[in-house]
């Protein structure tokens, strides 16, 4: 992991995900903590005048910390691969040559901890992918040669007839041949409102069948179904991210060989032209002068400070690479459901016919919905104070509910199954505004229509406006239908909208955006995992997000307040500027010290002193990355047009 520019995942592969159940399961973390304990003990003994014991503990701390990266660095050097681990090794060797064992041990301590945190993040990501597989049932019912049998989903073959009972999950992708129902496809599309499905409708693994019994013709095997493709996409994109160079790696690649070449040339040419002892000593001074001690310390300090500060305002950043990426983003792709919206469908409008009130229509609907587990039922029930009794309630798969309320026959269901009659115009307006319309019929006559929609978060419009003000390009990706998507996007102030997307579609779109400029994806569900992994940076809505989204993402908003999003971007941009300042200062220092060392102006003692002073400066500058101000300046107001106003126009 230390040499990201090497583009291999050897270190990552060496970690058994089953062993990494907690942060203490990572070897680098354990070694770093041991090294830190030894360093602290050495410091205290040094204060007490026990210099011998302090030296011994510093050496022990160096050996423990260096064991996490030096062996791997040497192996990669033998293969001609250079990265930040090489820089750290040179810095440690230079400090040891000068007798600065405490400095070398400190470098090893900081670096082992930073590498351990990154490895833990990757291990958790791989573990999070297993949660996807739990969405597939452990058995499936098929009819073969007229005989029903229960088999393992892995044994399903294309062309099989799969029998799916109400409430069951689909074991693989297929197409309905017999039956009508509503399907909860939130695992695939992320949308909270179930969709109607009947003969000919394609269905996907992980979807939950509603109230109708289905016969489904299998169209893909378990290895190639929707959920399997999500896992494959995420794994491939995580590997791509693991090979991405970090800031320090990009500096290391040209710097390390240049330092070695310069020092060697000084020693060889100087020895040929003059006193070999003198020029070998100067070459050693050059090697130490070029040792990037300040860079090695300042970047981790900046990262730790910035990540710690971000956690205080509810943003979890998974490592230095994620922090750097967060500060470089220019395009932000937002998921709709659960990100821009609260993922809680609510009643936004009620239309009634003459002689009937809003309260009466809702009460009749609630009486039937009290016997239903449909997400729309929860929305309607939450809109009434008291629920009348209903009798003989029955579900009509793919259509709605029938029953008796106060002795009168009533029906509740979708337009088409119930004729809208005088409310046809109002129903059309509801659908154009992105709401799901439910009709209520009493004694054979329609009495009202109820609009249910997953509403925009109250702060979403202001957050989008703030992101635009900061110069970001904002786009919305959703699996929902185009009408709902454009209605919600208009409220949020987003003009670039992509609707009716499956997980792989989102991933493809994000990949296309990424070719133009650094792109972040913000999502909350399983269906967002491929796009979160494909983006340069994945951001999960933490408190309400799925485990898969949290583990796949590089950054997590631990609360549900979107106003943390622009604050996180601003914080990361500032931290990235500080890191670049420290890198620039470190490189400038090296550029100045090398010619002075070659000329003999500076000896070993002077070089060490200058390095120590520089480290103090860059550390102090890095600590500034931990300072934050409350950037929740956006008001929670939404757009001026309410859902009810949109439907009334």
The answer to whether residues 171 and 161 touch, using CB atoms and an 8 Å cutoff, is: no
CA distances from 50 to 40, 46, 194 (A): 13, 5, 72
Other beta carbons less than 10 A from residue 149's beta carbon: 12
The arrangement of strands across the sheet holding 214-218 comes to: 147-151, 140-144, 161-164, 214-218, 174-178, 202-203
Judge whether 335 counts as a catalytic residue.
yes
Distance CA 435, CA 449 (A): 11
Can you tell me whether residue 539 is helix, strand or coil? strand
In sequence order, which residues have a C-beta less than 8 Å from that of residue 391 and are 6 or more positions away? 403, 404, 405
The answer to whether residues 258 and 286 touch, using CB atoms and an 8 Å cutoff, is: no
In sequence order, which residues have a C-beta less than 8 Å from that of residue 631 and are 6 or more positions away? 563, 566, 567, 570, 571
CA distances from 439 to 56, 67, 364, 648 (A): 81, 69, 11, 17
Q: What are the residues facing 402 on neighbouring strands?
A: 394, 411
The answer to whether residues 467 and 474 touch, using CB atoms and an 8 Å cutoff, is: yes
Distance CA 249, CA 114 (A): 14
Q: Are strands 519-523 and 331-335 parallel, antiparallel or unpaired?
A: parallel
Comparing CA positions, the residue from 88, 94, 104, 90 lying closest to residue 55 is 104
144 phi/psi in degrees, rounded to 5:
-125, 125
The count of residues in the chain is 649
Comparing CA positions, the residue from 426, 482, 475, 469 lying closest to residue 451 is 426
- Supply the DSSP symbol for 145: T
Comparing CA positions, the residue from 456, 463, 459 lying closest to residue 478 is 456
188 phi/psi in degrees, rounded to 5:
-100, -45
Distance CA 368, CA 642 (A): 28
The answer to whether residues 73 and 249 touch, using CB atoms and an 8 Å cutoff, is: no
357 phi/psi in degrees, rounded to 5:
-105, 165
- E strand or H helix at 413, and its extent? strand 408-413
Comparing CA positions, the residue from 270, 269, 446, 485 lying closest to residue 351 is 446
Can you tell me whether residue 159 is helix, strand or coil? coil
The arrangement of strands across the sheet holding 195-197 comes to: 195-197, 181-184, 208-209
Query: From the candidates 335, 528, 536, 561, which is the catalytic residue?
Result: 335
Comparing CA positions, the residue from 293, 321, 323, 296 lying closest to residue 307 is 323
Cα angle 120-121-123, degrees, rounded to a multiple of 5 = 65
The answer to whether residues 91 and 107 touch, using CB atoms and an 8 Å cutoff, is: yes
Other beta carbons less than 10 A from residue 624's beta carbon: 15
Distance CA 91, CA 291 (A): 5
- E strand or H helix at 464, and its extent? helix 460-469
Catalytic residues: 335
């Amino acid at each position: 992991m230390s040499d990201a520019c090497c583009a291999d995942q050897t270190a990552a592969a060496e970690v058994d995900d089953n062993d990494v159940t907690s942060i203490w399961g990572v070897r680098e973390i354990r070694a770093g903590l041991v090294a830190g304990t030894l360093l602290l003990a050495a410091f205290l003994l040094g204060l007490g005048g026990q210099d011998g014991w302090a030296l011994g503990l510093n050496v022990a701390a160096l050996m423990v910390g260096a064991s996490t990266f030096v062996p791997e660095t040497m192996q990669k050097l033998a293969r001609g691969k250079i990265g930040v681990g090489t820089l750290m090794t040179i810095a440690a060797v230079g400090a040891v040559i000068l007798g600065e064992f405490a400095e070398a041990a400190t470098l090893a301590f900081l670096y082992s901890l930073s590498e351990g945190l990154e490895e833990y993040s990757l291990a958790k990501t791989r573990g999070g992918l297993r949660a996807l597989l739990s969405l597939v049932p452990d058995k499936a019912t098929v009819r073969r040669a007229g005989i029903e049998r229960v088999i393992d989903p892995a044994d399903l073959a294309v062309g099989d007839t799969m029998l799916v009972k109400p409430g069951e999950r689909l074991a693989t992708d297929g197409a309905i041949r017999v039956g009508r129902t509503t399907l909860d496809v939130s695992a695939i599309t992320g949308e909270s409102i179930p969709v109607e499905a009947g003969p000919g409708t394609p269905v996907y693994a992980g979807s939950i069948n509603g109230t109708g019994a289905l016969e489904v013709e299998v169209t893909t095997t378990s290895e190639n179904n929707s959920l399997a493709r999500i896992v494959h996409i995420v794994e491939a994109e995580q590997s791509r991210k693991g090979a991405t160079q970090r800031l320090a790696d990009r500096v290391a690649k040209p710097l390390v060989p240049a330092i070695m070449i310069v020092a060697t040339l000084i020693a060889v040419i100087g020895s040929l032209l003059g006193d070999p002892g003198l020029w070998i000593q100067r070459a050693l001074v050059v090697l130490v002068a070029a040792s990037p001690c300040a860079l090695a310390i300042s970047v981790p300090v900046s990262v730790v400070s910035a990540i710690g500060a971000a956690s205080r305002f509810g943003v979890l950043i998974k490592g230095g690479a994620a922090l750097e990426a967060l500060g470089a983003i220019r395009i932000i792709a937002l998921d709709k459901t659960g990100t821009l919206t609260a993922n809680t469908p609510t009643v936004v409008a009620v239309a009634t016919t003459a002689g009937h009130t809003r309260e009466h229509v809702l009460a009749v609907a609630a009486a039937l919905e009290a016997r239903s587990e449909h997400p729309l039922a929860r929305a309607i029930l939450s809109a009434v104070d008291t629920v009348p009794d209903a009798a003989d309630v029955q579900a009509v798969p793919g259509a709605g509910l029938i029953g008796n309320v106060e002795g009168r026959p009533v029906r509740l269901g979708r337009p088409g199954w119930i004729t809208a009659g005088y409310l046809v115009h109002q129903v059309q307006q509801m659908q154009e505004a992105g709401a799901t319309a439910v009709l209520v019929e009493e004694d054979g006559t329609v009495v009202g229509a109820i609009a249910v929609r997953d509403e925009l978060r109250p702060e979403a419009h202001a957050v989008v406006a703030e992101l635009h003000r900061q110069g970001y390009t904002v786009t919305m990706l959703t699996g929902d239908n185009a009408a709902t998507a454009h209605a919600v996007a208009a409220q949020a102030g987003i003009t670039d909208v992509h609707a009716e997307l499956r997980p792989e579609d989102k991933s493809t779109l994000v990949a296309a955006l990424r070719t133009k400029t650094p792109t972040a994806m913000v999502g909350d569900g399983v269906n967002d995992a491929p796009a979160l992994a494909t983006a340069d940076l994945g951001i999960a809505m933490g408190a309400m997000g799925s485990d898969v989204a949290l583990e796949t993402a590089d950054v997590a908003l631990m609360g549900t307040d979107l106003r943390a999003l622009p604050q996180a971007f601003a914080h990361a941009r500032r931290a990235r500027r500080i890191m670049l300042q420290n890198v620039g200062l470190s490189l400038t220092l090296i550029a100045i010290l090398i010619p002075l060392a070659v000329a003999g102006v500076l000896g070993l003692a002077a070089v060490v002193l200058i390095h120590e002073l520089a480290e103090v400066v860059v550390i102090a500058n890095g600590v500034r990355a931990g300072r934050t101000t409350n950037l929740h300046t956006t008001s929670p107001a939404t757009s001026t047009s309410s859902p009810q106003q949109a439907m009334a126009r």
